[in-house]
Amino acid sequence: MEQLLSHDRPLKSYFIPILYTLGGVFFASLGAFIEESSIVFGFTLGLVVIGPVIEEVLKPFGVVVLLEKGALYLRSKSHVFWLCITSGLVFSLIENLLYTYVYLLPYFKYPHLYMETLIYRYTVCILLHIFTTSIMAIGLMRQFDVVKK
């Protein structure tokens, strides 16, 4: 079956993992938005603990689903790793766009502060999301070996 996927339908075997990865990013964005808009556990606990946990668990959710389906579309451990990194990068870019065009608009009248925040968001925050997702990717790479056996 694996040879059938990789030789007869190469486009499908490349696009299915990307679609699942973007689906995980969608659920992570949705989960973070719902968590941040509700103050069930208190503002500080929700903002500092629960929000990041939801984000980090849901970002590579598409890769987890692919692994659970039997890893038919996953080629190697490095493929799992790069799909997870892609989910972290796309999530951070979506989050940065949200901060840039929604949350930070009141600060646009202070150009110096606005630019410092943008530089911080597009450097530190992107690297942080990629790094934290890579930790989860290492665990999923180990799971790939278990599934492929």
Encode pLDDT of 116-146 as tens digits. Answer: 888 999 999 999 999 999 999 999 999 887 7
Q: pLDDT tens digits, residue range 39-65?
A: 555 566 666 677 788 888 889 999 999
Q: For residue 1, what pLDDT is reported?
A: 44
pLDDT of residue 78: 92
Alpha-carbon distance of 132 to 119, in angstroms, equals 20
Treating both helix axes as pointing N-terminal to C-terminal, what angle do 51-58 and 126-148 enclose, rounded to 10 degrees? 50
pTM of the predicted model, to two decimals? Answer: 0.81
d(CA 67, CA 86): 16
